[in-house]
Amino acid sequence: MTKAELVAEAAAAAGTTKAATEKVLNAVLGSIQGALVAGKNVTLVGFGTFTTAGRQSREGRNPKTGAKIKIPKARVAKFRPGKKLRETVNKK
């Protein structure tokens, strides 16, 4: 599902315009991003938790040439689904 599809579906479910829904979605995503940049976790009870973690530098290979390259250390965003989301996804 793309962002545009998500906006359209959420707008229909909420009975609002796509423009208003997109504005709210952008604000929510911006708030989550800002919190992660500040080193904070974002927990949406029943849905999941967004966190960041450090990844060590490591050696990799250039897929085109096969030459060894150094991949620098980085902070990465992670998402851990909540219990309710896991149960909903795994219903059969």
pLDDT of the chain, 92 residues: tens digit per residue? 999 999 999 999 999 999 999 999 999 999 999 999 999 999 999 999 999 999 999 999 999 999 999 999 999 999 999 999 999 999 86
pTM over 0.75: yes
Among candidate residues 25, 23, 59, 28, the one with its CA nearest the CA of residue 42: 28
Distance between CA atoms of 78 and 39, rounded to whole angstroms? 12
Q: Say if residues 85 and 46 touch (Cβ distance below 8 Å).
A: yes
> Tell me: the pLDDT tens digits for 78-91?
999 999 999 999 98
Q: What is the number of residues in the chain?
A: 92
